[in-house]
Structure 1
Amino acid sequence: MIAKTMAEPHSDDGAPQRHPRLAVTFAARLSFDDVHHSYHGKETIRGVSLTAEPGEVLCLLGPSGSGKSTLLKIAAGIEAQSRGRVMINDREVAGPLAFLPPEKRGIGLMFQDFALFPHMTILDNVRFGLTALGRKAAVAEAHEALDRVGLAHYAASYPHVLSGGEQQRVALARALAPRPGVLLMDEPFSGLDSRLKDTIRADTLAILRESRATAIVVTHDAEEAMRMADRIALLRDGALVQVGDAHEIYRRPADLFAASFFAEINEFQTRVQQGRVETPLGTVPAGNHADGTRVSAAVRLSDVTVAAQGGEIPARVLSRRFIGVVEILELAVPGSERAIRSRIRADLLPKGLRDVTISVKQQDILVFEKER
């Protein structure tokens, strides 16, 4: 139903009717400069320096408690940092020299629960933040924003009649209607049906691109971040682990945490010997790690190739779980006390096959110094 609503309507002659273009904003640069934050004596943000460039979609990614939402609140002015500065277009909006309230920052907010007012019509919800305009102009802007997200026909309705996906789009329209230079989105898709997430996410990204606002999106879902972001900032325990585009972080993770956050991995603990790192799935150069250094080696499940024969390492199938397009295998291999897991295309192996071979490319064995 939602996907159909989002599709472009057609005129009587069959030609697509475009939604009016959402008014373009003047995208702003938002920067965190050595930002710290504490809560009840516990440091929740530890020296974060990060910039969202004009028109960029930047995802703050990390597990619960990593500081993502706190950073968003600091940017919005809902929370105050204990140290450091927040700047918009190189102007300090929070720091030793200034503290602008949220309504003075030119920032749009979109919360996880959408925060729609149940007693207001959809149109009034969208025009709620257009306080700088007269009523007639505000209504016109709100109608245009609703039309762009495909919900103009719900203008006189109330939030309770809308599905979760439709409410999400109303919240997006409301956040963008004032044409903010920066849009902050806190887990905007977490409450949606998993079957509709891809469609709603793609449509949201298209609207963000058209509006040209700088967007900072909080998520705990690595795949979601890779689908949406120009760049990803991965956080852990209030500190930045790595910043880069999806390809860079996935292919060259900074540490074991980054590698495991973006994909399921097989992990091995070992030591560097004679400049090499030996694992049950192959031996690789140790790089800059000195002999005797304790290291963690990681291999993604998708990088373990399984075949009936012709591979480099003999293995025995302990279990296989069919999950649609792929199967997850657990395999016993020489030299490993724990089962090795592999993610392969479904039906690649004959049913009932027990003895197989596996191969792993040398560049797919990732080596990191062991965390203390």
Structure 2
Amino acid sequence: MTNAAQSAARVPAGVTFAARLSFENISHSFAGNGETLSDVSLTAEPGEVLCLLGPSGSGKTTLLRIAAGIEPQTSGRVLMNEREIAGPSVFLPPEKRSIGLVFQDFALFPHLTILENVRFGLTAMSRAEADREAEIALSRVGLQQYAQAYPHLLSGGEQQRVALARALAPRPTVLLMDEPFSGLDSRLKDSVRAETLAILRESRATAIVVTHDAEEAMRMGDRIALLRDGKLVQTGTAEELYNRPNSLFAAGFFSEINVFECEVADGRVATPVGSFATAGLADGAAAQVAVRLGGISAGENGSGMPGRIISRRFLGDAELFEIRVAGADQPVRARMKCGQVPAGRRDITLTIRESDVLVFERAGKNA
């Protein structure tokens, strides 16, 4: 069946009563391995898609497991609609939380049909009622025609949608998704991600999605929570985190950057690619200046900072350059639209878009 036919066949997702899920001063540690989470406070609002973003080991999946009740926190509380479901004196078991979970590997049972997989969690219903709800859930994801098939006959994208149907069948108030698209190839990922987001919008369930991919977080999330080493670094919309990152780490997670070390003088920072104004940093302060690769372009009529191209790589609609610039210890990297720099040219001048220049005070490894 084509994607268009599947979309036409898919029935609207049943609306759930979305809940507010809050993490309050959550810390977690494994014996002998130090803290995996440190004093994390975060709230997913009703009907919101909140993305937990960060590198491997930042605590994203642990936070998800704590929400699901699979892993107890060391300290802090988890609340649903202001009611404590996990804390010093309360621990609601996973089956009592009205929380759905989609695993990274889909976790489908190979010996069960697709319908039986989706029906698996509907234990409180009669067999006939469970079958009906499972069929409706499969219709929501456009896979009702595979009800009697087995998982190995489905593609990765189809298996992901079955896992989503199974999680949505009990109509949870919160849906947790742990890197649900990481096993899909890049061509399939965009379409499955868009279909999943449409289903989440229709169901109106609160969703928390774990990812290490900043673009995926920006595509899916109403808000993004960026974590590093078990700590919450910054929370906000994609626009807020991209345009106003609060640290060099946050800036580098959302775009490729060149970094220059310098000192503030007369309210400005001087770098090998230009001098830029800075606000809030005192003269003499040590600074780190981030310049996004996409903010560097070839100057016109010889204007700009001179440089020499030492490598260029064709990437389709863009080219990636390494350019030697006087005063820079490392080549300056730039990403420019194909055709902007004629083939064979070595000498070039660079202009910098100031909105792509970010200045941070240098403050150790967490800067």
Please tell me the TM-score bracket, short chain as reference. Answer: over 0.9
Q: Residue 13 of structure 1 aligns with which residue? A: none
**Structure 2 residue 321 is the aligned partner of structure 1 residue 329:** yes
Deviations 1:19-75 (A, max 9, x none): 222211110100000000011240110000000000000000000000000000000
What amino acid sits opposite 1:163 in the alignment? S
- 1:156-305 alignment, distance < 5 Å: 156-305=148-297
- Distance in 1 (CA, whole Å) between partners of 2:181 and 2:243 is 26
Shift, 1:285, TM fit: 2.3
- Distance in 2 (CA, whole Å) between partners of 1:35 and 1:146 is 36
**Structure 2 residue 34 is the aligned partner of structure 1 residue 8:** no
Deviations 1:304-339 (A, max 9, x none): 112463432112111110011110011112221211
Shift, 1:18, TM fit: 4.8
What amino acid sits opposite 1:110 in the alignment? V
What amino acid sits opposite 2:24 in the alignment? D
Sequence identity percentage: 63
- Contact 1:142 1:177 (C-alpha < 8 Å) held by counterparts: yes
Q: Gapped runs of 5+ residues in structure 2? A: none
Q: Gapped runs of 5+ residues in structure 1? A: 10-15
- Distance in 1 (CA, whole Å) between partners of 2:48 and 2:136 is 23
- Distance in 1 (CA, whole Å) between partners of 2:303 and 2:132 is 65
Deviations 1:185-216 (A, max 9, x none): 00000000111100000000000000100000
Q: Residue 106 of structure 1 aligns with which residue? A: 98
Q: Residue 135 of structure 1 aligns with which residue? A: 127
Shift, 1:76, TM fit: 0.3
- Distance in 1 (CA, whole Å) between partners of 2:351 and 2:293 is 12
Cα gap change, 1:315 to 1:93, in 2 (>3 Å) = same
What amino acid sits opposite 2:75 in the alignment? R
Q: Which of residues 335, 339, 355 in structure 2 aligns to 1:343?
A: 335
Q: Residue 12 of structure 1 aligns with which residue? A: none
**Structure 2 residue 30 is the aligned partner of structure 1 residue 33:** no
Cα gap change, 1:139 to 1:97, in 2 (>3 Å) = same
Cα gap change, 1:17 to 1:261, in 2 (>3 Å) = closer
What amino acid sits opposite 2:94 in the alignment? P
Q: Residue 122 of structure 1 aligns with which residue? A: 114
- Distance in 2 (CA, whole Å) between partners of 1:185 and 1:309 is 51
Q: Residue 351 of structure 2 aligns with which residue? A: 359
Q: Residue 79 of structure 1 aligns with which residue? A: 71
Shift, 1:347, TM fit: 2.1
Q: TM-score of the superposition, structure 2-length normalised?
A: 0.96
Q: TM-score of the superposition, structure 1-length normalised?
A: 0.95
- Distance in 2 (CA, whole Å) between partners of 1:134 and 1:21 is 23
Paired residues in the alignment total 363
- Distance in 1 (CA, whole Å) between partners of 2:255 and 2:28 is 30
- Contact 2:9 2:142 (C-alpha < 8 Å) held by counterparts: no
Q: Residue 24 of structure 1 aligns with which residue? A: 15
Query: Which stretch has the larger CA shift, 112-121 or 353-362?
Result: 353-362
Shift, 1:131, TM fit: 1.2
